[in-house]
Structure 1
Amino acid sequence: MKTFKYFLFIAAVAMLTSCASTAKFPVSRDVPAANIVAKKKQDKNNNYVIKLTAENLAAPGRLSPPKNNYSVWIVTKNGDVKNLGQLSFRNAKKVVLEAVTPFDAKEILITAENEGDLAYPEGIRISRAKF
């Protein structure tokens, strides 16, 4: 019985340490109806899988001033900013971006941009959250 309890304790600890980190974005003044959540977990290759889900996000063309796309960025542990990708949708209620990166993100942010292949965020900051 003691061995069984010990095994259960080890299994519970292993499950808790393998769970994903979650970042819930605060309400944005530019897109207040948007509900945005990001999850980060490490895969078997020691890369980080980041899955961002945005619901009720207005089209970037409806912003003031209008933009062409939403870009997703991460801030790494050493403070570098990396472009994770773009949120692309056509009149969607729900948008999902799943990306794999070798960088451990401490923060994630969304900006509205005119260009999609930028090296650093330049546009309107929509929202930012910490993992």
Structure 2
Amino acid sequence: MVWSFVSCSKNVAFQNSSAVPAAQGNVTVKKDSNKNYLIKIKIANLAEVNRLEPSRNFYVVWMETDEAVIKNIGQIKSDSGFMSSKLKASFETVTSFKPEKIFITAEDHADITTPGTQLILSTSKF
């Protein structure tokens, strides 16, 4: 008997950013045994959020679900705990919603329910 295992993991690169041109990163989405989705983000060369024009306070991570709903799934802190002198950042969360697209905006408040217009990074639809 031959067993075949199909990986339920997707690795998608962020598209080039006009707001932070040097920023590069990727999103990995993996379905776990409980049918939840583990989302991991790694970014390099992400400028401090307060150095943007206009300056903001938070990088907020958003998910577009397979039902076209936009959800705030957390924030990337731009302090020394998450970002090194090489401007690296990472983010990880688990959700029961199936992600179709991930994007990051710069915001004044982290607990907002709709994204602002300052788009930093975005994937294409998975």
Query: Which residue number in structure 2 is paired with residue 95 of structure 1?
Result: 89
Taking CA–CA contacts closer than 8 Å with sequence separation of 6 or more, which of the two structures ends up with the larger relative contact order?
A: 2
CA apart distance, 1:26 = 1.2
Match status 1:69 vs 2:58: yes
Between the aligned partners of 1:27 and 1:19, the Cα distance in structure 2 is 26
Stretch of structure 1 that moved more, 83-92 or 117-126:
83-92
Query: Which residue number in structure 1 is paired with residue 33 of structure 2?
Result: 44
| Identity within the alignment, % | 38
Match status 1:109 vs 2:100: no
1:32 to 13, 16, 21: 21
Higher-Rg structure is: 1
Between the aligned partners of 1:119 and 1:63, the Cα distance in structure 2 is 22
* TM-score normalised by structure 1 residue count: 0.86
Judging by fraction of residues, say which structure has more helix.
Answer: 1
What CA RMSD, in Å, does the superposition of the two structures yield over aligned residues? 1.3
Q: Could you tell me whether the CA contact under 8 Å between 1:114 and 1:123 is conserved in 2?
A: no
Between the aligned partners of 1:77 and 1:42, the Cα distance in structure 2 is 14
Which amino acid counterpart does residue 99 of structure 2 have in structure 1? Answer: A
- Equivalenced residues, count: 120
Query: Which residue number in structure 2 is paired with residue 85 of structure 1?
Result: 74
**Structure 1 unaligned runs (5+)?**
none
Between the aligned partners of 1:94 and 1:60, the Cα distance in structure 2 is 13
Between the aligned partners of 1:101 and 1:19, the Cα distance in structure 2 is 15
Query: Which residue number in structure 1 is paired with residue 115 of structure 2?
Result: 121
Between the aligned partners of 1:23 and 1:85, the Cα distance in structure 2 is 19
Match status 1:56 vs 2:45: yes
SS of 1:89 mapped into structure 2: coil
